[in-house]
Chain A
Amino acid sequence: MSTPIVVNNLSKEYRLGRLEHETMLREVIVNMFKHPLRRAKRKKETIWALKNVSFRVEEGEVVGIIGRNGAGKSTLLKLLSRITYPTEGQIKVRGKVSSLLEVGTGFHEELTGRENVYLNGSILGMKKKEIQAKLDQIIAFAGVERFVDTPVKRYSTGMTLRLAFAVAAHLDPDVLFVDEVLAVGDAEFQKKCLKTMDDLRTSGRTVLFVSHNMSAIENLCPRAIWIEGGEIREDGEAKDVIRAYLSMFADAQRTGHDLSAIQSRGGNGEVRYTGIEFIDPEGRATNLVRSGDELNVRLHFDAREEIRQPHFGVMVYSDMGSLVTTFSTWATGLDVPMLPRGKGRIDLRIDSLNLMPARYYLTLWLSSMGATKYDHLDHCVAMDVETSDPYGTGKGMGRRFGLIYVTGGWTYGGGAEGSRGNQ
C-alpha cells in the first residue's frame, strides 16, 4: 500500500472575534442597512493554527505528536480526520481511518450499555456485523457484564469510561489517530489504555498519537514530531525530539542561578554562595535534569576571609516540604583544609539522580567543624526533575509513585519459572 499519510504545506487559519459580531441574523440584517459599505472595511482578526506543515508517515509507523497546549496538535488531528478542512495545502490519507479524539462520543445516557456500544461503534466506523461479533469481547474488556442492559446514566464515571474505551480498543482500522485519550481516568484505566496502545504498536497499523505523557510517547513511539506555534520544530527519533522539547522549558530560565543577590540567608557571611549550576556529563551547563541522570551540581562561592575546614551541604526537599536527602562534604568525607579569600567553586557529583519527576527545592549550607555557620540558603533553588524511562516500560514514573525510585527487578517463585527481571 502506498504511503498512508502525506501532508503537504498544510495551513489552517481560524477567524477570531468574528463569531461575536455576527452570530445573530438580525444583526447581519441591521448592519446591512446601517452600514451598506461596511463589508469592505471589516477587519478580520485571524490566527494561523498551523502553518506550512509537511510530513509523511509510512505504513506501520507509530508516531507521537508532542507540543505545548495550543501548539496545533489537536487541529492537525482534526484536519487529518476530515472534521475540518485546510485553508491551504493538501492532506492525503489512505486506508480505513478511525479517529479517537474523545472517548465515548455519541454516548446517550438514556440508552443501555449494549445499545451505546452499537451506537458508539458505528460512530467510530465499525459495521454492524463487526460490532455484533465483538460485542462480548467489548463488554468483557470493560467489565460491565452485569450492567449491560441498564441505561448508561446509571453507570459510574469509571464504568462509562471503561465501556467507551472498550469500544475504541476493538477498532480495526488501517490508520488510527488518537488524541490525549490517556489524560482522563484513574490509574487502572490509564494502565489499560497503555496496554492497548502497546498492542497497537506491534499490530502493524499506522498510528498517530498525541499526548503530554512523555514516558508513554518514548516507550510507544519510535518517532515523534514536535509541533510548536503551528509549525514542526523537530521530526525524528522520539528520544531526541522529547529531549529537545523538554529543554525548551528549561531554557525558559537562565542556565545557572545567581545566588549572590539573595538577602534572607543565615550564617555570619564570611563565605557566601554566589551561584549554582547543573552540569551534564559532557561538561555543559544545563537546566534539563531528568530522573536517573548523572549530573554535577556546581556551587560557586565567595570568601571574605580565609576559612578553615569548611563543610558544604545540599539538602533536597520535596514540593511538600519533606527532606528527601542530604549531600554534604562532611558525610562523604571530603576534607578541604582551607578556603583562600576570594572566589571559588566546588562540584557535587551525583551518580544517578533517583528522584521521581517532580519539582524539588534545594537548601544550601556552608559551615565549619566548629559549628560556625557561614551561609544558609533555605529553599533557594527550584529543581524540576523531568521524566525519563528507567524501567524501559514507559510506566511507573510520576509523583504519585513516590519521591524516589530504585532500580532493580523482580523474580517469581523459586527462581527459574516466569522470571521477569528488568535491569
Chain B
Amino acid sequence: MLLAWLKEFWEYRELFYFLVWRDVKIRYKQTVLGATWAIIQPFFMMIVFTVFFGKMAKMPSDGIPYPVFSYAALLPWTYFSAALIHSGNSLLAGANLVRKVYFPRVALPAASALGGIVDFAIAFVILFGLMFYYDITPGVGLLLWPVLMIPLVLLAMGIGMILSSLNVKYRDIKYAIPFLVQTLLFVTPIIYPSSIAPERFRFLLSLNPLTGLIEAFRASALPSKTVDWPLLGLSVGITLVIFVLGAMYFRKTEREFADVI
C-alpha cells in the first residue's frame, strides 16, 4: 500500500519539483529587498528578543551571549513556522489544481514544506557572522545541521498533512494555524533554555518534538554545549509517529478533497 503511494509519488516527481520551484520563485518576485527578507525575519526577531528577553527580562542563556543563543534556535524555528503555515494552507491555496487536475495531492503540503529550505540556507550564513562577532568558534557539530533538517522537515510535513486535510473540510482550521504556531513558539525552548524549566515540567517539555530538535540545532552549533542525544532520539521518534499518522490520515481523506474543496 505504502509502496504504491511512493511509486506514484516518484512518477509525479517532476510536478513536485515544479511546485517547489514555483513556490520559491514567487516568494520574492516584485519585492524591493528580494531574498534579503529571508535574513531579516530571524535577524530582527533575534534583536527584539535580545532587547526584551535578554536584557530587560534578564533571561539566562546557558552561558552563551543571548543573541547567539536565540538566533541559533530562531533559524530552524523560522523555517519550521513558515513551513507549517504554508503546508497547512496548501490544499486550499491549490484548490483550483485539486479540482481540475489529477496528481498525488500530497505533493501540495510536501512542496510547501520544502519551499522554505532555500530561505533557511540564506539566513544560515548570518549565523557565522554573529558567532564571529561574539568571538565564538563554530563547533564542528554544525555539520550536523543538514542531518537535523531531515526530521524537522518531516515534522513540518507530518503536521502539515493533518492540518491541510482538516482545513479542506473545516474552514476554521485556517485560523487555528497561526494560533498553534504562536503557542509552539513559547512551548519550545527558543526564547529560554530548557534548563530553566523545573524538573516536573522538563518531561512535558520534552514531549514536544520540537524541543529535542531545536535544542540539538543549538547545541551542535556551539562548541560549549553537547547535544542531548536521548532527548533528540525521543523527538525524532515522536516526529516519525506524527509523520506516519499524518500520512495515513491524509491518504484516508484524499478521495473526498475534490468534492469538498
Residues of chain A having any CB pair with chain B under 8 Å: 14, 19, 22-26, 28, 78, 81-85, 97, 99, 101-102, 105-106, 108, 110-111, 115, 118-119, 122-124, 127-128, 151
Subset of 24 A-B contacts with CB under 8 Å: A22-B169, A22-B170, A24-B171, A25-B166, A25-B170, A25-B172, A25-B173, A83-B98, A83-B102, A84-B258, A85-B255, A102-B100, A105-B100, A106-B101, A108-B22, A108-B26, A110-B30, A111-B26, A111-B29, A115-B25, A118-B18, A123-B15, A127-B14, A128-B14
Residues B172 and A26 in contact, CB atoms below 8 Å apart? yes
| Contact residues of B between 235 and 261, Cβ < 8 Å to A | 255, 258-260
For A24, list chain B residues within 8 Å (CB): 170-172
B36 within 8 A of A: no
Among B25, B99, B173, contact of A83 (Cβ-Cβ < 8 Å)? B99
Among B26, B99, B101, B172, contact of A123 (Cβ-Cβ < 8 Å)? B101
For B166, list chain A residues within 8 Å (CB): 25
Among A23, A106, A124, contact of B169 (Cβ-Cβ < 8 Å)? A23
Among A106, A118, A128, contact of B96 (Cβ-Cβ < 8 Å)? A106
Q: A85-B255, A122-B15, A123-B15 are in contact. Are A105 and B101 (CB under 8 A)?
A: yes
Distance (Å) between the CB of A155 and the closest chain B CB?
Answer: 16
For B197, list chain A residues within 8 Å (CB): none
For A97, list chain B residues within 8 Å (CB): 102
Distance (Å) between the CB of B106 and the closest chain A CB?
Answer: 15
Residue of B nearest to A14 (CB): B259
For A123, list chain B residues within 8 Å (CB): 15, 18, 97, 101, 103
For A82, list chain B residues within 8 Å (CB): 102
Interface residues on chain B, number (Cβ under 8 Å): 27
Of B99, B101, B103, the most chain A CB neighbours within 10 A belong to B101
Flag B88-111 by CB within 8 Å of A: 1 or 0 each: 000000001111111100000000
For A85, list chain B residues within 8 Å (CB): 255
For B30, list chain A residues within 8 Å (CB): 110
Q: How far is the CA of A118 from the CA of B170 in the complex (A)?
A: 33
Residue of A nearest to B102 (CB): A82
Among B14, B18, B102, contact of A81 (Cβ-Cβ < 8 Å)? B102
Residue of B nearest to A83 (CB): B258
- 5 further A-B pairs in the complex, CB-CB below 8 A; given A85-B255, A102-B100, A105-B97: A23-B170, A81-B102, A105-B101, A106-B96, A122-B18
Q: How far is the CA of A89 from the CA of B25 in the complex (A)?
A: 43
Q: How far is the CA of A128 from the CA of B25 in the complex (A)?
A: 17
Residue of B nearest to A123 (CB): B101
Residue of A nearest to B15 (CB): A122
Q: How far is the CA of A226 from the CA of B53 in the complex (A)?
A: 71
Among B14, B101, B260, contact of A19 (Cβ-Cβ < 8 Å)? B260
Residue of B nearest to A19 (CB): B260
For B15, list chain A residues within 8 Å (CB): 122-123
For A14, list chain B residues within 8 Å (CB): 259
Q: How far is the CA of A19 from the CA of B118 in the complex (A)?
A: 38
For A99, list chain B residues within 8 Å (CB): 100-102
Distance (Å) between the CB of B98 and the closest chain A CB?
Answer: 8
Residues A106 and B97 in contact, CB atoms below 8 Å apart? yes
Q: How far is the CA of A128 from the CA of B17 in the complex (A)?
A: 10
For B172, list chain A residues within 8 Å (CB): 23-26
Closest 9 CB pairs of A and B: A25-B170, A122-B18, A84-B258, A110-B29, A82-B102, A101-B100, A85-B255, A110-B26, A83-B258
For B103, list chain A residues within 8 Å (CB): 123
For A28, list chain B residues within 8 Å (CB): 170
Q: How far is the CA of A384 from the CA of B201 in the complex (A)?
A: 81
Flag B12-34 by CB within 8 Å of A: 1 or 0 each: 00110010001001100110000
Q: How far is the CA of A83 from the CA of B100 in the complex (A)?
A: 7
For B25, list chain A residues within 8 Å (CB): 110-111, 115
For A25, list chain B residues within 8 Å (CB): 166, 170, 172-173, 176
Q: How far is the CA of A19 from the CA of B15 in the complex (A)?
A: 31
Residues A83 and B170 in contact, CB atoms below 8 Å apart? no
Residues B170 and A119 in contact, CB atoms below 8 Å apart? no
Distance (Å) between the CB of B36 and the closest chain A CB?
Answer: 18
Residue of A nearest to B98 (CB): A83
Q: How far is the CA of A354 from the CA of B100 in the complex (A)?
A: 41
Residue of A nearest to B30 (CB): A110
Distance (Å) between the CB of B118 and the closest chain A CB?
Answer: 16
Flag B157-189 by CB within 8 Å of A: 1 or 0 each: 000000000100111110010000000000000
For A83, list chain B residues within 8 Å (CB): 98-102, 258
| Contact residues of B between 171 and 227, Cβ < 8 Å to A | 171-173, 176
For B173, list chain A residues within 8 Å (CB): 25
Among B98, B99, B101, contact of A124 (Cβ-Cβ < 8 Å)? B101
Q: How far is the CA of A14 from the CA of B103 in the complex (A)?
A: 22
For A101, list chain B residues within 8 Å (CB): 100-101
Residue of A nearest to B94 (CB): A106
For A122, list chain B residues within 8 Å (CB): 14-15, 18
Q: How far is the CA of A110 from the CA of B31 in the complex (A)?
A: 11
Q: How far is the CA of A108 from the CA of B25 in the complex (A)?
A: 11
Distance (Å) between the CB of B176 and the closest chain A CB?
Answer: 8
Distance (Å) between the CB of B160 and the closest chain A CB?
Answer: 17
Q: How far is the CA of A23 from the CA of B260 in the complex (A)?
A: 10
Q: How far is the CA of A110 from the CA of B100 in the complex (A)?
A: 21
Q: How far is the CA of A23 from the CA of B166 in the complex (A)?
A: 10
Q: How far is the CA of A82 from the CA of B98 in the complex (A)?
A: 11
Q: How far is the CA of A110 from the CA of B26 in the complex (A)?
A: 6
Q: A78-B258, A83-B102, A99-B101 are in contact. Are A23 and B171 (CB under 8 A)?
A: yes
Distance (Å) between the CB of A85 and the closest chain B CB?
Answer: 5
Q: How far is the CA of A101 from the CA of B260 in the complex (A)?
A: 18
Q: How far is the CA of A83 from the CA of B102 in the complex (A)?
A: 5
